[in-house]
Structure 1
């Protein structure tokens, strides 16, 4: 494990439960660790239950308003990014968002698109817009694109995020696997 960068934060998934304790003990000697159980959930064309698809729009890297709003929402949620980085992200990945009064209030992303499966992530909603269907609509748009392509949609969610799990089940997601994620902080 010499190639692991112990000078910065990271998360890793441990698929073999018998390896969890050795991995955690090894990392504890180098910094702080935290183990969280995540649920892998999948949805396909047979189980998908679309929700307010008309509310979600595909975010466009060439639309300056989309870019500016995306930057603002990313800064609110998880990290500071600039316009150049936002354009790169919106060009590389498929993002959908929901706008309210010209403000981007929710987003969802297809992080990985393969013929058999699309990985969904970077789902976020402004706290004041929770329970209004905005994140559900953005996620629903990504699922629609995945199932139209013939793929399943997959996401991972921490098992104690009950409100999000409820939303994903309402869209047709079913639990497929429970796996531990290990967070490391030097």
Structure 2
């Protein structure tokens, strides 16, 4: 389908592999193909579509295409700013032969995988050649209007944060162990993509959550954190319900990721209405 374009092409096991390292190689045929898959299955293709649309200068990807269907992809996003500057996030989905040779080996990595045990094993082996590998399994959970159950507690107020909450957010992030400099705090609170929410107890910021990716079809929620002295009273549940409700009100689904061993968090999300849609292998590695 894409012969004669600018894309480097390879035939692997009868499938066409399109290799794209920069957005400059992306033509309308591929944009339409990726968008079609995203619209049909936003929970699977949201990161691929979002990064190509908003961060093409730091994104590269590899597609396996069979006819007019994407059967697998590797998405590599190189962080050029923020706390993870110099690191990369890699998403691997489906059938991608030789994937271990596509992964960068000279920087810290987070790899998110939904692939066969053979592919996962090959990636773990490759990362192990770089240094120690941390391997965890995460649940991807989603919520939509028909299953959402709102949560209200008269002792807890939850709302979207604003620039006026910058000092409180910075304090909570420092307590969390992921401090942000003042400029980054302001940038996130003012961003059209990042929307931080907070749950307040007696006027004090007790819990936070954010959307770090927003599209009309899906919001991705993360950075859910409750300060130690406010745990167990529903603050995390309140703030997650608040951001989820806004996502659903906008017409989108809500999606989040949680360590499958974090049973308290999984219970909270289930009570709000979240359902498990897939299980992912998450790998972390840094060069020795």
Which structure has more RCO (C-alpha within 8 Å, separation ≥ 6)?
Answer: 1
Is residue 45 of structure 1 aligned with residue 131 of structure 2?
A: no
State the SS of the aligned residue for 2:114.
coil
Moved over 6 A (4+): none
- Does residue 1:140 correspond to 2:241, yes or no? yes
TM-score scaled by length of structure 1: 0.91
Q: For each residue in 1:93-115, what CA deviation from the matched residue of structure 2 results, as whole angstroms up to 9, or x when unmatched?
A: 11110122332110011111111
User: What is the alpha-carbon distance in structure 1 between the residues aligned to residue 102 and residue 275 of structure 2?
Assistant: 37
- Residues 157 and 201 of structure 2 are in contact (CA less than 8 Å); yes or no, is this contact kept in structure 1? no
Secondary structure in 2 matching 1:179? strand
Is residue 243 of structure 2 the alignment partner of residue 149 of structure 1? Answer: no
2:132 matched to which residue of 1?
32
- Given candidates 160, 174, 183, the residue that maps to 2:275 is 174
Residue of structure 2 in register with 1:90 after alignment: 189
- Structure 1: tracts of 5 or more residues without a match: none
Distance 1:39 1:2, change over 3 A: closer
Query: Radius of gyration: which is bigger?
Result: 2
Aligned to 1:163: 264
1:8-19 paired onto structure 2 within 5 Å: 8=108, 10-17=109-116, 18-19=118-119
Q: Which runs of 5+ in 2 are unaligned?
A: 1-100
Distance 2:121 2:159 in 1: 44
TM-superposed CA distance for 1:133, in Å, is 0.7
| Aligned mates of 2:107, 2:251 — CA distance in 1 | 41
RMSD of aligned Cα (Å): 1.7
CA offset digits 1:5-30 (Å, max 9, x no partner)? 6343x311012133111111111111
